[in-house]
């Protein structure tokens, strides 16, 4: 069932969207009773000529809410004692503009355009949204029923389609950070969606590799060929169903890293069929349970949806999720130290084939 969508405006003008699983919830009737200051201006994008990349400078994010007590969580439903970001007293899935965005459409009137002759500056135009998966503060994505995962996927697809139409947006990136080890600032189960005003470095590298592969093979899609090779090899496949395969990449960067890919090449979440959307949840929940089962405790992770870019190179994209953890042992974390942070050269502590075997056994 497609979720029922209703939109409200928060007191500072930001947009909030309820995705309800039942009709006539009445949630859109609840007003935001807070008196909030205007949202911050857009960040700056500064060009780094040494690596041909744009860096976002968003100083206002340094004041964002940091690990508040559970009775003052801004992602819980509003109560008589505390008015949160969500005015309604309950919700299924909700999406709203981030109060502390890395990118937005609010340009500062005194925007500078140059730092040096080699470092131009432009506004960080785009959009950042928060996605709350459940109103239960003490839950987790891995504890959701498959029907709720389908609602989340539908919400992400809705927002991907809308944000892809915004002027200047180059790529839409949904993701979830889980665990204080990753750096979360709010414990409530939630993810985010970034509408980037530039093509991020990893996507740019993937586009270059995909273009080279297509030229060399007469137009074949690189990710499709990688997926087919993993399915044929089988040794790194963790789990699969009719529409999706979950596997550890042969050259995994992270101790435990899994890609979840649809068997059909699609550019983004809106392009998934109903059957593919339904099939994603059971497989993803299975993989998350394997992650938590590895060491018998909640696994910190990042889940990242890689979608096709909006403009040039869109035909090279292949939607897939990258799920990975920085935990390499029960009591050890993988820190990005000298080689990774300074040089971008990853060194993995766990053989990918061994990681896949451990994840298969964790069931």
Tokens describing residue 347: 């060194």
Give the count of beta carbons closer than 10 Å to the beta carbon of residue 313. Answer: 19
| Known catalytic residue at 190 | yes
Which of 190, 213, 243, 320 is flagged as catalytic? 190
Q: Return d(Cα 189, Cα 176) in angstroms, integer.
A: 9
Contact 283, 251 (CB under 8 A): no
Residue 160 CA to residue 168 CA, distance in Å, equals: 14
Length, in residues, of the chain: 363
Cβ within 8 Å of residue 212, ≥6 positions away = none
For residues 261 and 318, is the Cβ–Cβ distance under 8 A?
A: yes
237: β partners: 247
Distance CA 301, CA 175 (A): 10
Q: Which tokens belong to 63?
A: 């004041």
Structure tokens at 175: 């993701």
Closest to 149 measured CA to CA, from 319, 253, 276, 52: 276
Instruction: Please give the positions annotated as active site.
Output: 190
């Amino acid at each position: 069932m497609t979720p029922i969508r209703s939109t409200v405006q928060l007191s500072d003008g930001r947009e909030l969207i309820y995705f309800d699983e039942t009709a006539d919830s009445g949630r859109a009737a609840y007003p935001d009773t807070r008196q909030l200051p205007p949202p911050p201006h857009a960040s700056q994008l500064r060009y780094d000529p040494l690596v041909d990349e744009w860096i976002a400078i968003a100083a206002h994010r340094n004041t964002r809410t940091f690990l508040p007590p559970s009775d003052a969580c801004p992602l819980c439903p509003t109560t008589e004692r505390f008015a949160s970001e969500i005015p309604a007293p309950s919700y299924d899935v909700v999406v709203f503009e981030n109060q502390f965005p890395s990118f937005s459409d609010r340009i500062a009137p005194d925007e500078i355009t140059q730092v040096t002759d080699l470092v131009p500056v432009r506004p960080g135009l785009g959009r950042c949204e928060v996605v709350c998966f459940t109103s239960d503060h003490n839950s987790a994505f891995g504890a959701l029923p498959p029907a709720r995962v389908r609602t989340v996927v539908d919400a992400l697809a809705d927002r991907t389609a809308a944000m892809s139409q915004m002027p200047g947006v180059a790529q839409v990136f949904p993701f979830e950070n889980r665990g204080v080890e990753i750096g979360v600032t709010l414990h409530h189960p939630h993810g985010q969606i970034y509408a980037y005003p530039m093509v991020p470095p990893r996507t740019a590298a993937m586009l270059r590799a995909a273009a080279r592969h297509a030229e060399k093979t007469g137009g074949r899609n690189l990710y499709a060929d990688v997926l087919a090779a993993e399915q044929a090899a089988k040794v790194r496949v963790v789990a699969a169903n009719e529409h999706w395969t979950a596997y550890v990449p042969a050259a995994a960067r992270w101790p435990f890293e899994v890609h979840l890919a649809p068997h059909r090449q699609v550019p983004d979440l809106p392009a998934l069929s109903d059957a593919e959307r339904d099939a994603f949840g059971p497989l993803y929940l299975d993989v998350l349970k394997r992650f938590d089962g590895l060491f018998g405790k909640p696994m910190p992770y990042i889940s990242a949806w890689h979608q096709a870019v909006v403009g040039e190179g869109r035909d090279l994209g292949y939607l897939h999720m990258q799920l990975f953890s920085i935990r390499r042992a029960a009591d050890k974390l993988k820190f990005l130290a000298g080689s990774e942070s300074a040089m971008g050269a990853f060194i993995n502590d766990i053989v990918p084939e061994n990681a896949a075997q451990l994840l298969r056994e964790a069931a």
